[in-house]
A and B are shown apart, each in its own frame.
Chain A
Amino acid sequence: DAKTTQPNSMESNEEEPVHLPCNHSTISGTDYIHWYRQLPSQGPEYVIHGLTSNVNNRMASLAIAEDRKSSTLILHRATLRDAAVYYCILRDAGAGSYQLTFGKGTKLSVIP
Chain B
Amino acid sequence: DTEVTQTPKHLVMGMTNKKSLKCEQHMGHRAMYWYKQKAKKPPELMFVYSYEKLSINESVPSRFSPECPNSSLLNLHLHALQPEDSALYLCASSQGTSGGRAKNIQYFGAGTRLSVL
Asked whether, in the complex, the Cβ of A32 is within 8 Å of the Cβ of B99, the reply is: yes
The CA of A36 and the CA of B102, in the complex, are separated in Å by 13
Determine if B117 is an interface residue (Cβ-Cβ < 8 Å).
no
Asked whether, in the complex, the Cβ of A93 is within 8 Å of the Cβ of B42, the reply is: no
Determine if B68 is an interface residue (Cβ-Cβ < 8 Å).
no
Interface size range of chain A in the complex: 20 to 34
The CA of A97 and the CA of B104, in the complex, are separated in Å by 10
Asked whether, in the complex, the Cβ of B99 is within 8 Å of the Cβ of A34, the reply is: yes
Asked whether, in the complex, the Cβ of A43 is within 8 Å of the Cβ of B90, the reply is: yes
Given A41-B110, A98-B48, A100-B106, A91–B43 Cβ distance below 8 Å? no
Closest B residue to A93 using CB positions: B100
Binding site for B on A (CB under 8 A): 30-32, 34, 36, 41-46, 49, 51, 85, 87, 91-105
